[in-house]
Amino acid sequence: MRNLFTFLFRHHVFFLFLLLELTALAMLIQSHDYHASRFASSSHAWAGNVLENYQNSADYLSLRKVNTLLAEENTALKNLIQQNSEEEQSHLEGNYQYISAKVIKNSYNKRNNYLTINKGALHGLENGMGVCVDKGVVGIVRDVSENYATVMSLLNNNTVISTRFAKSNHFGDLRWDGHSHEYAQLYSIEKYVDVSVGDSLITNSYSSVFPEGLFLGTVNRFERDEQANFYDIEVDLAVDFSNIDYVYIVKNQLRGERQLIESKQGE
Amino acid sequence: MNKFIQHIIRFVFLVLLQVLILNNIQFSGYINPFVYILFILLLPPKLPKALLLVLAFTMGLTMDMFSDSLGVHTAASVLIAYIRPGVLGMITTKGGEELETIGIKQLRFTRFFTYAAILTFIHHFTLFYIEAFRISEFLATFSRAFISSICSLLLILIIESLRSNSLRK
């Protein structure tokens, strides 16, 4: 027993090293688990505070740009109201509620990018809600604290968005390969599908995160290997990730009900 | 005690510099310099190795909190803290035991450059490869890590020479 202690003490630096590295790796592995809430994240109150204060002072520099964007969006929304009053609204659309939030931190040059926003559990946010801007999809809510939340950007190794062609019902998975923040890759489109450059991609109704029909981007380039069963498609993203100030969080009122019935299928 | 406060100020300064300025500068989307490791590089050589590891862990964890990278910075920081005594042993005769502090002034430029370069490269390559987590992106990750390492190294040398110059006066 004494020998064991002497041994441990002699190599205590190495064991401490192992312990700390294992802690770091455990955090990392846990981060691949989508639903686990995480220990160290910028949605923590004090990290969120520092970032928000900084963003507030930086905001003055971009007021002009934000004003223009808001005005454009206003016009688009007004048009939408007009259209809606003319058409009959479908039953499903009423189940989505939108919450607006301000982005206080954003990145797009890492392999795994996250945004931090200034709304949290107090405003009704929950893990797994969709986040979008008027141009298209931004990502999915990840960690939520009382006043802040982090959003797993579309530009992230772990983000997969279920998507389909606007012109047909063929669907695939949109992922990001880590190269350019302007392009993402579309997978699982079988080779018999008719694809052409410029085709629009929208969210489909298979996931309960986003309402159907949110714009994602257009086909920029595609390749079909003779041996492969699937296309390689590069998608020009609708959202400019280097320039996001305000976002909307999509709250699906019937999500719980839908997940409940879908989980019964799995059993 | 005075030294102790100096290290705390350096810690806060480097965290703020990294989080508020460098993390927001997006050079061409490829380059991502990390100068916060200067804190680990400049810790005194006489510090117990266990304490060195704990301090590097704290620094890495702080970085992970601000950049939502979960353990990526922590793993890389703890690794360079662990191999730091070995690297110091390579570039100095007695493993740096005779030095009170580490800096350009104490080590001279060539030795400090070698010391900083080895640790920066190891840190960045560990960091970028853990972050990518895929062999299929080997080359892209390699070039990102390489270019970022050079940028960080330049910034570290600039900050360090400014610091040691201001100390001399």
pTM for the structure as a whole: 0.63
Looking at the domain assignment, is residue B27 inside a domain? no
> Quick one: average pLDDT of A254-266?
76
Q: Does residue A118 register a pLDDT over 80?
A: yes
Looking at the domain assignment, is residue B80 inside a domain? yes
Q: Check residue A57 and give its pLDDT.
A: 73
ipTM: 0.81
Q: Is the Cβ–Cβ distance between A208 and A252 less than 8 Å?
A: yes
Looking at the domain assignment, is residue B28 inside a domain? no
Domain count, chain B: 1
Looking at chain A, the whole-number percentage of residues with pLDDT higher than 70 is: 87
| CA distances (Å), origin A65, targets A4, A68, A149 | 66, 5, 25
Mean pLDDT: which of A85-89, A164-168, B52-56 is highest? B52-56
Helices then strands, each counted (H, E), chain A: 5, 12
Q: Check residue A4 and give its pLDDT.
A: 79
> How does residue A89 score in pLDDT terms, banded at 50, 70 and 90?
very low
Mean pLDDT of chain A: 80
Q: Give A193-231 pLDDT, tens digit per residue.
A: 888 888 888 888 777 788 888 888 999 888 877 777 788
> How does residue A252 score in pLDDT terms, banded at 50, 70 and 90?
confident
CA B65 to chain centre: 17
> Quick one: average pLDDT of A175-199?
86
Looking at the domain assignment, is residue B162 inside a domain? yes
Q: Check residue A31 and give its pLDDT.
A: 64
> Quick one: average pLDDT of A31-58?
65
CB atoms within 10 A of CB B23: 20
Range of the domain at B70: 2-20+35-168
Q: Is the Cβ–Cβ distance between A111 and B131 less than 8 Å?
A: yes
| Chain B partners within 8 Å of A181 (Cβ) | 29
Of B162 and A90, the one with more pLDDT: B162
Nearest-Cα distance to chain B for A68, in Å, is: 23
Looking at the domain assignment, is residue B30 inside a domain? no
- Tell me which of A31-35, A93-97, A255-259 is least confident: A31-35
| Chain B partners within 8 Å of A51 (Cβ) | 19, 66
Q: Is the Cβ–Cβ distance between A172 and A188 less than 8 Å?
A: yes
Whether A12 and chain B come into contact, CB under 8 Å, resolves to yes
Mean pLDDT: which of A122-126, A252-256, A259-263 is highest? A122-126
Residue from B18, B25, B47, B68 whose CB has the most chain A CBs within 10 Å, to mutate: B68
Looking at the domain assignment, is residue B137 inside a domain? yes
Q: Give A12-23 pLDDT, tens digit per residue.
A: 888 889 899 888
Q: Does residue A183 register a pLDDT over 70?
A: yes
| Residue given tokens 């998608």 in the structure block | A235
First-to-last C-alpha distance (Å) of chain A: 50
Contact across the interface for B68 and A150, Cβ inside 8 Å: yes
Write out the residues of chain B at the interface with chain A, using a CB-CB cutoff of 8 A: 19-20, 23, 26, 29-32, 49-50, 53-54, 57, 60-61, 64-72, 74-75, 78-79, 82, 128, 130-134, 137, 140-141
Looking at the domain assignment, is residue B96 inside a domain? yes
DSSP, res B18: I
Q: Check residue B26 and give its pLDDT.
A: 62
Looking at the domain assignment, is residue B29 inside a domain? no
Give the mean pLDDT per block of 10 residues along chain B (169 residues).
82 88 70 88 87 92 83 92 89 72 82 92 90 75 88 91 74
Of A232 and A38, the one with more pLDDT: A232
First-to-last C-alpha distance (Å) of chain B: 22
d(CA B105, CA B112): 9
Which residue intervals of A11-88 are DSSP H helices? 12-31, 45-59, 63-86
Q: Check residue A99 and give its pLDDT.
A: 82
